[in-house]
């Protein structure tokens, strides 16, 4: 399926819940948020229907996100059903890792190919502060268990924040050298806060300068359909990647859309324009009619985001969108 800018759209990120067992500072305000009412959340049956219809339009990659997806009841059965849909070639999961150690083997059996795990610091106290109470030991246990059961590749998502974890980048690179892990450094994005307030922003170029990348080379051997630029070096068991959504955006090659937990098709993470797909799914339309609405939405995918505009601000936070 192509959009009007001739980009091949084949990657659907599906958020199955807005709820989370952490309260990360860059994701949620201190006072928390009001959860989406249960009746407005898409059912598993509705999500599976979307997946089946999307495969007829050429979608092959599906990432399940939240909030924290592993806290939703029945998630393993849902994943097993999703993995068995004809045309689903890559079923992935993004998680904060808190519940992963106990569930990794079952995730593998359910048909999940690989996982992305959020980890922004090695420091136990700093992690607890950032997540407002999270236990970093559980995340490390989840990482090791994922490697043991054969979820591959295992990727670590590191949102880089100035004066919080920017000094830890070399240690993360050591992790990629010593273990078959793929560490991705991500620019902090202004979701729910104006970009002119982001004095804690660190660009990809600055990250590379901190790391000193002489001798490292680009690699294209990392499985995935995302925008990360990966580098590796002789002796590395893993790799280091960079996702530059702000300083060097990759809009011209974007291949994805998102389905929010309340059933909105979000055609660009950084655009507040959404299609109310829940209303379409619950309006007794046939699969062909739903497919037409889906295809038209993809055709209208924006050319690029506007996060670099000082006036840009999203009213929805990441857990509500599917971050």
Confidence of residue 194 (pLDDT cuts 50, 70, 90): very low
pTM, two decimal places? 0.90
- What distance separates the 2 farthest-apart alpha carbons in the chain? 58
**Three-state SS at 45:** helix
Dihedrals φ, ψ of 264, to 5°?
-95, 135
Residue 138, pLDDT > 80, answer yes
Mean pLDDT of 108-137: 96
Confidence of residue 154 (pLDDT cuts 50, 70, 90): very high
Place of tokens 């990120």: 13
Edge-to-edge strands, sheet with 229-232: 217-219, 229-232, 239-243, 181-187, 154-160, 114-118, 90-95, 61-65, 11-15, 256-259, 264-266, 274-276
Confidence of residue 210 (pLDDT cuts 50, 70, 90): very high
Q: Can you read off the two tokens belonging to residue 260?
A: 């929010």
Mean pLDDT of 247-254: 79
pLDDT digits (tens, 9 = 90+) for 49-75: 999 999 999 999 999 999 999 999 999
Cα angle 103, 127, 199; round to 5 = 125
pLDDT digits (tens, 9 = 90+) for 264-287: 999 987 777 899 999 999 999 999
Sign of CA dihedral 149, 151, 152, 158: negative
Say which residue, 191 or 21, is predicted with more confidence.
Answer: 21
Of the candidates 125, 132, 150, which has an alpha carbon nearest to the alpha carbon of residue 96? 132
- The answer to whether 32 and 19 have CB atoms below 8 angstroms apart is no
Proportion of the chain above pLDDT 70, given as a percent:
86
pLDDT digits (tens, 9 = 90+) for 211-235: 988 556 666 566 665 667 888 778 8
Within 10 A of 283 (CB to CB), how many other CB atoms are there?
A: 10
pLDDT digits (tens, 9 = 90+) for 159-174: 998 998 999 999 999 9
Strands 264-266 and 274-276: antiparallel
Residue 16, pLDDT > 50, answer yes
At 192 the pLDDT is 52
Confidence of residue 311 (pLDDT cuts 50, 70, 90): very low
Q: Can you read off the two tokens belonging to residue 35?
A: 């959860």
Q: Can you read off the two tokens belonging to residue 257?
A: 């859309």
Say which residue, 216 or 244, is predicted with more confidence.
Answer: 244
Mean pLDDT of 84-102: 98
H or E segment at 265?
A: strand 264-266
Residue 294, pLDDT > 80, answer yes
| 3-state percent helix, strand, coil for the chain, nearest multiple of 5 | 35, 20, 50
């Amino acid at each position: 399926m192509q959009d009007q800018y001739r980009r091949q759209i084949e990657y659907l990120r599906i958020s199955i819940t807005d709820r989370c067992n952490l309260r990360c500072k860059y994701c949620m305000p201190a006072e928390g948020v009001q959860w989406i009412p249960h009746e407005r959340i898409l059912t598993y049956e509705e999500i599976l229907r979307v997946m089946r219809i999307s495969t007829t339009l050429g979608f092959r990659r599906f990432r399940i996100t939240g909030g924290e997806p592993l806290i939703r009841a029945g998630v393993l059965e849902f994943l097993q059903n999703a993995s068995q849909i004809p045309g689903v070639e890559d079923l992935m999961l993004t998680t904060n890792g808190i519940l992963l150690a106990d569930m990794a083997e079952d995730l593998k059996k359910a048909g999940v190919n690989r996982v992305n795990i959020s980890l922004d610091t090695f420091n136990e106290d700093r992690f607890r502060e950032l997540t407002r109470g999270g236990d970093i030991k559980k995340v490390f246990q989840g990482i090791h268990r994922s490697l043991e059961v054969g979820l591959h590749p295992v990727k670590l998502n590191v949102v880089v924040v100035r004066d919080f974890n920017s000094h830890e980048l070399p240690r993360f690179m050591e992790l990629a050298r010593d273990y078959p892990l793929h560490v991705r450094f991500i620019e902090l994005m202004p979701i729910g806060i104006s970009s002119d307030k982001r004095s804690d922003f660190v660009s990809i170029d600055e990250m590379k300068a901190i790391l000193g990348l002489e001798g490292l080379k680009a690699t294209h051997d990392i499985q995935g359909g995302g925008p990360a630029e990966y580098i590796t070096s002789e002796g590395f068991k893993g790799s280091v990647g960079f996702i530059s959504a702000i300083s060097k955006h990759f809009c011209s090659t974007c291949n994805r859309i998102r389905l929010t937990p309340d059933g909105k098709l979000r055609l660009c993470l950084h655009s507040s324009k959404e299609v109310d797909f829940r209303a379409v799914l619950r309006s007794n339309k046939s699969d062909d009619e739903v497919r037409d609405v889906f295809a038209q939405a993809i055709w209208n995918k924006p050319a690029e985001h506007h996060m670099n505009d000082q006036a840009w601000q999203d009213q929805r936070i990441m857990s509500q969108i599917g971050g």
